[in-house]
Amino acid sequence: MIVAAENLVHRYGARVALSDVSFQVREREIFGVLGPNGGGKSTLFHILSTMLAPTGGRARVAGFDVERQPSEVRRRIGVVFQSQSLDKKLTVLENLRGQGHLFGMRGRPLSARINEVLERLGLADRRSDLAGALSGGLRRRVEIAKALLHRPPVLLMDEPATGLDPGARLELWRYVEELRATQGITVLLTTHILDEADRSDRLLLLHQGKVVAEGTPSELKARIGGDVVLLDVAEPARILDQIEQRLGVRGSASENGSVRIEIGNGHRFIAEVVEAFPGAIRSVALHKPTLEDVFLDETGARFE
């Protein structure tokens, strides 16, 4: 496994940010860490990128311990931070040249590598543009180019789609998938965006610093099975109790006036419940399970 965490723990004073977190990432995999803000994703990212030492447990990247061998780890990772790291007053070329110098790259080898990553990421015609004049999607591509300049086998990305419009997100993912296909790179990313997580090969769900589920998006959604039915009613707790008594179906009620039911053949259930409670149901929604449903099912909390 190219990335592995074993019983990671991290505390900020009395607050536990990570609690016994373990997982493994295979080579050439796009591995997503999904969770709401404050769930522990950023702490995990900082540990894997050697910016933060864990309170307990250990993590290894490309065979090297992130706490004991940080220099070796840094040579083997490219890092794309959530906040921008480009100098807006420099051109794309100048930003990349400065990054190369940090890794001891000089002269013709550096120029050749810069040309290569610019071509690979569709930025060759932007080399002389000021970074501050680029769109959000193009700036993110330059960030990735910087991260890949020294040919790392692992790319760490912290909330890479933050601030991007839907079109730019799709474009970003096209480049990430192309990098994996053409260069065999392993990608580990953190995200709170459900659509982005759905594109990962495998996912780790984090909630309040703990692992609540792990698997492919399809495997996680299959845990629920069937359909998800949402009923908009005036008194969710009362209706939910009556549904259980009269139809033998259990669900959950929310404060916003909805009843949530996980059930097979949801369309048949809808017909039954509407007939059983005439006038009590204001509207009905039916959908297949989503990652948000998985999160709610595993934690009892809504994904926010």
Q: Token pair of 74, please?
A: 């840094």
Residue 236 burial (10 A CB sphere; 0-12, 13-18, 19+): buried
H helices of 149-302, in order, are 166-183, 194-197, 217-222, 236-247, 266-276, 291-299
Quote the pLDDT of residue 225: 76
The pLDDT score that the predictor gives to residue 255 is: 66
**Structural domains of the chain sorted by starting position, each given as residue range(s) with its CATH number in brackets:** 3-220 (3.40.50.300), 226-288 (3.30.70.1510)
**Which two three-digit tokens encode residue 235?**
């008194």
The confidence score (pLDDT) of residue 304 equals 65
Under 8 Å CB-to-CB from 209, ≥6 apart: which residues? 10, 16, 17, 18, 19, 21, 39, 40, 43
Instruction: Let me know the angle formed at the C-alpha of 80 by 152 and 60, rounded to the nearest 5 degrees.
Output: 50
Question: What is the amino acid identity at position 42?
Answer: S
> What is the pLDDT at residue 32?
97
- Find the angle CA(97)-CA(79)-CA(140) to the nearest 5 degrees: 70
Residue 139: phi, psi to the nearest 5?
A: -60, -40
**Vertex 143: Cα angle to 76 and 21 (nearest 5):** 50
pTM of the entire predicted model = 0.86
Query: Could you read off the pLDDT tens digit of each residue along the chain, which spans 304 residues?
Result: 999 999 999 999 999 999 999 999 999 999 999 998 889 999 999 999 999 999 999 999 999 999 999 999 999 999 998 888 899 999 999 999 999 999 999 999 999 999 999 998 889 999 999 999 999 889 988 999 999 999 999 999 999 887 778 888 888 888 889 889 988 999 999 999 888 899 999 999 999 999 999 999 999 999 887 899 999 998 888 999 999 999 999 998 876 778 999 998 899 999 999 999 998 999 999 999 999 889 988 887 777 6
